[in-house]
Amino acid sequence: MQQQNRPLITVAMVSYNSSEYINEAIDSVLASSYTNFELLISDDCSTDNTWELITAYSDARINAVRHNHNIGEYNNRNYCLKEATGQYIIYIDGDDKIMPHGLETYSKEAEKHKDCGMIISRPYVAYKSYSSQEAYQRHFLSDNSFLNLALVRVLFNKTLFLALGGFSEKYKSGDDYARLLMAAHHPTLIIPEGLVWWRKSPNSASNRLFNSYSGVQEPFSIKYTFLNSTNLLSKEEYKQARRNLDYKLLNVIKSLIKKGKLLWLIRLMSEYKAISNLELSQTKYKN
C-alpha cells in the first residue's frame, strides 16, 4: 500500500462474545463524518455469533480477522497495534461507540500536535498539551485520575506507541500501564469530552476486572512502578506522591475489611510490604 493511500487513523475493535453490541459499535464507526480511516476488527475466537455479525458487513474500510484460539485482551490489542496501517490508533471495542464527529475532532487535533504521544478526551481539566513532567505532577500530586480514564477516550500515535513496546501483557489492567508509559516519554494532549461513549456492561472486560483481585492490586502496582522508576518529579514531589498513593491504598484496605474480603486483604498487604518500605535512595527523582 502506498503511503498516500494509507488511512490517517486506524480504529481498532477487539471483540470477544460481543454479539449484543457489536453492530452498534461498527455502525457508529462507519457513520463517522471523517472518512480517512480503516476499521480493524480483531475477534478473539468468540464462541457466540459475533463473527457472523462482523462478516455480514461489506464495507471496504473494514479489515476483519478472527483468531483460531483465544489470545487474550492485550495480546489482541498489540496485534491490532502491529497490523494497523494508520498513523494513529484508537480502540473502539465491541461494546463501545464513537460519536459521528469523534474521528474528525481527533484527526484535526492530531495533525496540529504531532509531537504528542496520545490525545485524551476528558472533562474538568485545562485543554492543552501537557509535558511529561506536567502530566505526572497532575496525575500523582493533584488528580490521581488525570490519566486513568476509559481506553476508548485515547488516540495513540501508533509509531511512538510501538517504539515503547505497546501494551504490557503482564497486567490485566494494561490500560493504566499504557497511558503512564506514553505520558512518561511524550507530551499528552487533553481535549474536551463528548467524542466517544464507553459502555460498562456486566460482561465487559473492564467490569470483570473491577470485580477481581487484579482490579484492586494492579492499578497500585502500576502507579508505584512508574512513580519509582521515572525521574519526572522532584524529591519533595515524590514524597508527596507516595503519601497520596499510600493514603489511597489505606482506603482500599479499609474497604476490603468492610466488605469481608480478608483473603484479598492478606494478599494485598503481603505483596505491598516491600514496596511500601522502599528507600528514597533507590528511587529516581528530578534534582
d(CA 43, CA 252): 35
Domain boundary among 153, 174, 209: 209
| Per-residue pLDDT at 85 | 97
Is the domain of 65 the same as that of 152? yes
Is the domain of 167 the same as that of 184? yes
Is pLDDT of 2 > 50?
Answer: no
| Per-residue pLDDT at 70 | 95
CB 189 within 8 Å of CB 113 = yes
Burial group, residue 103, by CB count within 10 angstroms (0-12, 13-18, 19+): buried
Rounded to an integer, the average pLDDT of 105-121 is 97
Is pLDDT of 274 > 60?
Answer: no
Domain boundary among 178, 209, 240: 209
> Which of 23, 15, 20, 161 is CA-nearest to residue 86?
161
Which range, of 20-34, 139-153, 261-275, averages the lowest pLDDT? 261-275
Is the domain of 245 the same as that of 171? no
| Per-residue pLDDT at 282 | 47
CATH code (residue 47): 3.90.550.10
Q: How far out from the chain centre does Cα 241 lie?
A: 22
Residue 214, H or E segment: helix 213-229
Q: Does 64 fall in a domain?
A: yes
Is the domain of 26 the same as that of 125? yes
Match 518529579 to its residue by C-alpha cell: 233
Is the domain of 179 the same as that of 222? no
Q: Does 110 fall in a domain?
A: yes
Is the domain of 205 the same as that of 246? no
Is the domain of 76 the same as that of 195? yes
Q: Can you give the residue range of the structural domain that contains 266?
A: 212-282
Q: Does 287 fall in a domain?
A: no
| Per-residue pLDDT at 268 | 83
Q: Does 23 fall in a domain?
A: yes
Rounded to an integer, the average pLDDT of 10-34 is 97
Q: Does 155 fall in a domain?
A: yes
Is the domain of 255 the same as that of 129? no
Q: pLDDT for 205-259, tens place per residue? A: 655 656 788 888 888 888 988 988 889 999 999 999 989 988 888 888 898 899 8
Structural domain count, the chain:
2
Q: pLDDT for 136-195, tens place per residue? A: 999 999 866 799 889 999 999 999 999 999 999 888 878 999 999 999 999 999 999 999
Is the domain of 123 the same as that of 258? no
Is the domain of 269 the same as that of 236? yes
Mean pLDDT of the chain: 89
Domain boundary among 160, 179, 209: 209
Q: Which residues contact 87 (CB under 8 A, 6 or more apart)?
A: 6, 8, 9, 110, 157, 158, 159
Is the domain of 58 the same as that of 157? yes
Q: Global pTM? A: 0.90
Is the domain of 202 the same as that of 249? no
